[in-house]
Amino acid sequence: MTRDRFVQIIAAVVLVIATTASGVMLPSLIDQSEKYELRYTSVAVEGAPPIVALGQSIGVLRGLIVDYLWIKVHMMKEKGLFYEVMADSELITKLQPRFASVWGFHGHNMAYNISVATHTEQERWSWVKAGINLVRKEGIKYNPNDLELHKELAFWFAHKIEGYSDDAHLYYKTQFTKEWHFLLGEPPIAWQDRIEWIKAIADAPDTLAQAEQRTPGVKALVQRLEDEITPYDQGLDFGLNFQLLQTYGEWSAITRQSELAQSLGAAEQIRSRSPLFRAFDTIANDPQMQDAWKTLLAHVRKRVLIDEYNMDPQLMYEFTRDVGPIDWRHGQAHALYWARRGSLLGDKRALNDDDIYKVVNNDRLQLQAMQALARNGRITFDPLLMSELPSRLPEPLWIDAIYNQFEFFYNKHWETRGWGGDTFIGFLENFMSSAIREWYRSGELEKAQQLMDRMDQLLGRGARIPNNKYAVPLDVFVEEETRGEYLVNPAVAPSEVIAGLRYGIRVGIGQDRPEVYQQSVRFAKTVTDMFRNSEQYGYENKFGRGRLSEFVSRLERSVEDAFLQIIIDPTLSLEERSLIWRNVDRYEPQLRARVYDKVVGQLQLQLSRSVYGSRYRVADLFPAPPNLEEFRQRLAEERARIQNQLQEQRDRDDITPE
């Protein structure tokens, strides 16, 4: 045997042994990678575009090309060439779809940089949606376990849509709420009912064939829609898509949901002039089709969520069940969804201690989303009033949800290096103390006391180091919490008093709970008296102006200011404002007269922009108070008296002593 032959035999044996060993070790390596979330997906090129195959074929050159393009887009960004960045960023995502950072960079460029360079709200919204959709539908599909990408997406919902820094944020909120109102339908109010509502979508059939199997008649309904609706307008596409959901949602709003539409007979008016509406109305109202409609809508909603939004209806159900009464029409609900999904799928990949800040920041986004939902997470929305923003009220159930989630986060980060559980203790205490004050000044005394008792158990007398912070009467606690803050920063007081009165008016007057309104008025009087009796009240600056007199003056007219704000607030529905307007005389007989001339012009403008503006006047929804002319006369006399006093004072000042 020659020496070369001997070497070949030895090499062949080593190759066989190595191949056998690798085969034995492979299942264990795969299990470990799954356990610690080290693989992005189960299939390396799952759903990848054709150019990815080309990128893989060029091997190491692909990395060099991506590096070059990445440097190039950063240089163009520094020069403000945001549109030019688009093409190269898209090429990087195709060549290297597992490069999560570039998806975030590309989406941020669209949602932030390019959107603000446009000139209309509609253009801005289209770019914001495009950036979000790019990461939600494409980026996360290729990087389903990347925590940072989930955190970025969650932040965009919380900051870009739900924040206030963008000049078009009100438009974003309206369009977002409208989109999800049509997609999922109007959710029930009760938490348990909402759980069952979203579960019906999660459990819906995956295919049309399965829908037909569950409810015979679904295919016949689809065929009937195609046959009877499309002839009226060739541009309509009644496929199993979002447009079907939107059409059904608009029909439902006109015929069932919109109280204003029903009170004004809008359905009958539209039926009389629109054959398309009559045709759809006939199919939607067919009693023999109701079960088929229910199954079809649930199926289409599930498919649209999965196929167009890359969202898992099962996770949406579990989050609604386990966390809180999520209303998916609220942008913070989506911030919560993506942050929580990122935590479920990506936390295990943060093995390096230096990456733990990603986990902490992502968990903070969850808590901040829940805090926002507690403050304004109850939505009422009329999709027919295109110019109006969704009405938002506090959702107290989210306070309990935050309390219940706090222990989980506290234990999770108790030993986190550099952060610690005290990060979340501070958040909980500040938020809950604020919630106690909000409930108190809004007149919800029972809720405020219940929350205070729970805080006493957790961070007061029941804490590891007991203290008596919460072992005081409720009014004493609120006064102690507010007195120091108000006197140090007086500007806070009027805004908080107005916030309490707005709640008191909307709930107390609008929902016929007089005790809520009366308590909010008492809180306003207490704060006013606190300033008036303060030692600093009589202090005047060098210009002769009282330091606190301005705030006392604002507080004294706070009821009128709060009522005026509500009546002209476009974020509140016309129905709610009209109801409050008609009922307020029982509580404040002169209030309508004092604000009527200040609001009538704005109301006329708002009504002219709604679908009812061509047929109804302000007087139909906001009738003038019966004592208006008498009040105007008294007001004119009072103004004349004040003018005379001022003139007399000026005349005396002009007399110089001899």
| Average pLDDT over the chain, rounded to an integer | 79
Q: What is the pLDDT of residue 480?
A: 81
Residue 133 tokens read as 């959709």
SS3 content of the chain, % helix, strand, coil (to 5): 75, 0, 25
Q: What is the pLDDT of residue 43?
A: 39
Calculate the dihedral angle through the C-alpha atoms of 380, 383, 384, 387, rounding to the nearest 10 degrees: 90
Percentage of the chain modeled with pLDDT above 90: 23
Helix axes 290-309, 191-202, angle to 10 degrees: 80
Compute how many other C-beta atoms are within 10 angstroms of the C-beta atom of residue 429.
14
Higher pLDDT residue, 134 or 36? 134
pLDDT > 90? residue 570: no
Q: For residue 301, what is the enclosing H or E element?
A: helix 290-309
Look up residue 109 and give its DSSP letter: I
Q: What is the pLDDT of residue 18?
A: 65
pLDDT > 90? residue 303: yes
Q: Yes or no: say if 358 and 347 are a contact pair by the CB < 8 Å rule.
A: no
- One DSSP character per residue, 207-248 reads SHHHHHHHSTTHHHHHHHHHHHTGGG-TT---SSSHHHHHHH
pLDDT > 70? residue 402: yes
- One DSSP character per residue, 111-152 reads IIIIGGGSSSHHHHHHHHHHHHHIIIIIIHHH-TT-HHHHHH
Distance from C-alpha of 232 to C-alpha of 229, rounded to nearest angstrom? 6
State pLDDT tens for residues 241-291. Answer: 998 998 898 888 888 766 556 656 667 777 777 787 888 888 888 999 999
In this prediction, residue 136 has a pLDDT band, given cuts at 50, 70 and 90, of very high
Q: Yes or no: say if 448 and 475 are a contact pair by the CB < 8 Å rule.
A: no
Q: Are strands 378-380 and 391-393 parallel, antiparallel or unpaired?
A: antiparallel
Distance from C-alpha of 474 to C-alpha of 58, rounded to nearest angstrom? 71
